[in-house]
Amino acid sequence: MRPRSRTPTDDGTPRHRHGFWSRRHRRRRRAEGVAGLAARLAARLDLSEVQAAAWRPVVAALEEGAPALERLRADRAALDEAMPAPVRLARVEGALVAGLVLLHAVRRPFEAFYGTLAPDQKRTLDRLAGAARRRGRAPL
């Protein structure tokens, strides 16, 4: 395992203590919601006007699904080992269905947006999504 870097991130926060994935940082970013995520991602990708226009439907679909995501987080936290297995299975099934509905709403606008990106922008987006996925926190 590679030692953690002590160099600051792009936004100036140190990586070693309160970096991108620290608990405090995650809470702050979650409070910013979809709009904060969308703004950070758009800034990171340096979107053109055409790309920004293609990005707006993705953000709208994510914002529409944000309440469902919050319910999913609450349901996940509420899963109790003392709960009977059929109840847990029903909650997990409900969460999967809600997540799938959101995925269907986001997929087509996202594919259209992704098609507008330049190769270097695609690499950046893929890298960011891959890093989040490895940490179990991927929105995409």
Q: Rounded distance, CA 132 to CA 123, Å?
A: 14
Cβ burial of 54 (10 Å; 0-12, 13-18, 19+) is buried
For 77-85, what is the mean pLDDT? 74
Q: Which position has the higher pLDDT, 94 or 107?
A: 107
For 26-33, what is the mean pLDDT? 66
Give me the phi and psi of 51, to 5 degrees please.
-65, -40
Q: Provide the mean pLDDT of the chain.
A: 77
Whether 28 contacts 36, CB under 8 Å: no
Q: Rounded distance, CA 85 to CA 24, Å?
A: 33
Nearest to 46 by CA among 107, 122, 109: 122
Structure tokens, 22? 């620290």
Structure tokens, 23? 């608990």
Highest mean pLDDT, choosing among 20-24, 44-48, 76-80 = 44-48
For 11-22, what is the mean pLDDT? 53
For 19-43, what is the mean pLDDT? 71
Domain boundaries, the chain: 29-134
% residues pLDDT > 70 (the chain): 66
pTM: 0.66
Residue 140: band (very low, low, confident or very high) from pLDDT cuts 50, 70, 90: very low
